[in-house]
Chains A and B, each alone.
Chain A
């Protein structure tokens, strides 16, 4: 299955909307996009996972690299709209405690 990456650029903020599955095959393109965004000083990246039904551990690795990159570049990354299966992967690995995760993109978080 493929992964579609839609990018909506706003002022100092980018929403990355993903649809499909994140696995070893689709991960490289996502990695490139996220690292490119998180390298911009003070940039905010919001990843919308509403249409992602499956993510394997390769996907986690990519989010971890992106998080490390935000720390080096004083930028930020936020994950929103996670489906239960994907959220569970973050919970099992304890990563839900070091990532900013919201289950809804709207509702005055910004």
Chain B
């Protein structure tokens, strides 16, 4: 190895000096050589080899057992060197993977992008934050030809990449449903079959699907095992849980979903969320759902977007800015 030659002479003289004096300067010199070796990717057995040669040059009459022992060390370092090389390769591969995942996450964001629609008389706020690189929560807005607004909120169990990939499947199944089947219970029934057929047995999806009909201020909804949202009754200044029962998607292909209906009045709100919100923890303690409501109520006088942002900030702070789960919160506020 060419790069070793000047170092070999240098190493030998440093070693000679050190054996004679045991002085710190030689050690410092050795450290500098090491840095050079690391930079040039010199495997550890080469360094042992360097030492053997230096010793042989300095002391031609070294005892045989010493030479054998150095040979032994050399062989040992060869396997060490191979393992070390593998470690480096793995590190490189890992960083490649990381950047590929970042690309995938980006692509996912583009694929699943949804725009908050502008609906007369309905103030909408959305916040959706992933705990890891890819979001396993999903929300989607779709406006029908009849002016109705479809809102899906979903959570995939498993987390991480498989969950995120699963979401793309859901999104495309929903896009391919004909518009006349936009009713929440029909959508969930269809998606349930898609998920049941295509997803492995320990994975499943919870979804809340709502359809808002602006003409009569009515909201229809069905739930597939999704964390219940809340309904705010402005006249009575009272929150209540939205009771909608239904089995999670992907477990039983023959499930039927119940559909519920409710008329919204001025100032009423519908609050949809994922369990990343209700499973927030403060230290070892869970945040109870009453506390979640308290926080929502505290900011409920704000515009919907401002409100969800403030609620999110509140919980982020409680958990020391480290989310355990993806966090999605949607607020629909009827203005007139």
Which A residues have a C-beta under 8 Å from some C-beta of B?
24, 31, 54, 56-58, 60-62, 64-65, 68-69, 85, 92-95, 97-98
Which B residues have a C-beta under 8 Å from some C-beta of A?
155, 157-159, 201-204, 206, 224-228, 245-248, 251-252, 275, 279, 286
Q: Is the interface of B mostly helix, strand, loop or mixed?
A: loop
Assembled-state Cα–Cα distance A56/B286 (Å):
12
Q: Are B206 and A64 in contact (CB-based, < 8 A)?
A: no
Q: Are A64 and B201 in contact (CB-based, < 8 A)?
A: yes
Q: Are B246 and A94 in contact (CB-based, < 8 A)?
A: yes
Q: Are B247 and A98 in contact (CB-based, < 8 A)?
A: yes
Q: Write the chain A residue with the least CB distance to B155.
A: A57
Q: Which of A64, A92, A94, A97 contacts B202 (CB 8 A)?
A: A64
Q: Are B247 and A93 in contact (CB-based, < 8 A)?
A: yes
- Kindly provide the distance from the CB of B44 to the nearest chain A CB, expressed in whole angstroms: 36
Q: Are B204 and A61 in contact (CB-based, < 8 A)?
A: yes
Q: Chain B residues near A60: list those with CB within 8 A.
A: 157, 204, 248
Instruction: List 13 additional contacts besides A54-B286, A68-B201, A93-B248; criterion CB under 8 Å.
Output: A56-B279, A57-B157, A58-B159, A60-B157, A61-B157, A61-B203, A62-B202, A93-B206, A93-B225, A94-B224, A94-B245, A95-B248, A97-B247
- Kindly provide the distance from the CB of A93 to the nearest chain B CB, expressed in whole angstroms: 4
- Kindly provide the distance from the CB of B283 to the nearest chain A CB, expressed in whole angstroms: 13
Q: Write the chain A residue with the least CB distance to B203.
A: A61
Known: A62-B202, A64-B201. A98 touches B279 (CB 8 A): no
Q: Which of B228, B247, B275 contacts A95 (CB 8 A)?
A: B247
- Kindly provide the distance from the CB of B254 to the nearest chain A CB, expressed in whole angstroms: 11
Q: Chain B residues near A61: list those with CB within 8 A.
A: 157-158, 202-204
Q: Write the chain A residue with the least CB distance to B250.
A: A64
Assembled-state Cα–Cα distance A57/B251 (Å):
14
Q: Are A57 and B201 in contact (CB-based, < 8 A)?
A: no
Q: Which of A64, A65, A92 contacts B228 (CB 8 A)?
A: A92
Give the most central of B206, B225, B246, B286: most A CB within 10 Å.
B225
Q: Which of B155, B159, B203, B286 contacts A24 (CB 8 A)?
A: B159
Q: Are B246 and A92 in contact (CB-based, < 8 A)?
A: no
